[in-house]
Amino acid sequence: MRFPEQQPGEEIVLVIRKHFIVYLGLLLNFFMVFIFPLFLVFPFLFAYFRATHPQGVLIAEIFACMYVLYGLAFLMVAWMEEAFDLFVLTNQHLVDITQISFFRRSVTATPLLQIQDTASHVDGFWATMLNYGSVDVQTAAGGTSIFSISRVPDPPSVSRAILSEAQKAKNTGSHPPEAPAPA
């Protein structure tokens, strides 16, 4: 895997993605909003059109197909916005890739030497039972800034991994290598 602005010699240590429960929630919403009403409303609509206008059944079938296709498009956009939100931890940087909308993405990176602290939060019954939550990373880049990713699996271990890698970078004193000068 490669990511934007990856330096030569920079190795990926950990890719932090959202918990699978996010995708189950998207599927549940899809079924509740698009599929469930399809089975409740459309049988009555088809029966009405069969009784009154036999040609109207075709129109109702086309409408039902368009309804499902619209729902699938909506599901795919929502899935993409969740699936492409991730952290990439390398031996030199922490990269936060956030998918804001369908055609808009934000990529923010901070050197591991600037990471000051991390915090993990697990809030609620389901989050505790399924072990997911959020991770906040505090940096000293210019002013104090915070990187945050929500609904990640096992937030305490993710937080520890980020701090551990930052501590390794500080102990070795390794700074990101400079790009080679053009010949």
CB contact burial 118-140 (16+ within 10 A = b; e otherwise): bebeeeeeebeebebbbbbbbbe
Residue 69 resides in a domain = yes
- Residue 68 CA to residue 22 CA, distance in Å, equals 21
pLDDT at res. 165: 92
* CATH number, position 162: 2.30.29
Q: Give the predicted TM-score (pTM) of the model.
A: 0.74
Mean pLDDT of 12-22: 90
pLDDT at res. 132: 94
Mean pLDDT of 102-114: 86
- Residue 48 CA to residue 177 CA, distance in Å, equals 71
Q: What is the pLDDT of residues 38-74, one digit of tens each?
A: 788 778 777 777 778 777 778 778 888 888 899 889 8
Domain of 73 in residue numbering reads as 23-81
Q: What is the pLDDT of residues 87-103, one digit of tens each?
A: 899 888 888 888 888 78
pLDDT at res. 4: 66
DSSP-based three-state secondary structure for 31: helix
73 and 38 within one domain: yes
152 and 113 within one domain: yes
Split into its structural domains, the chain has a count of: 2
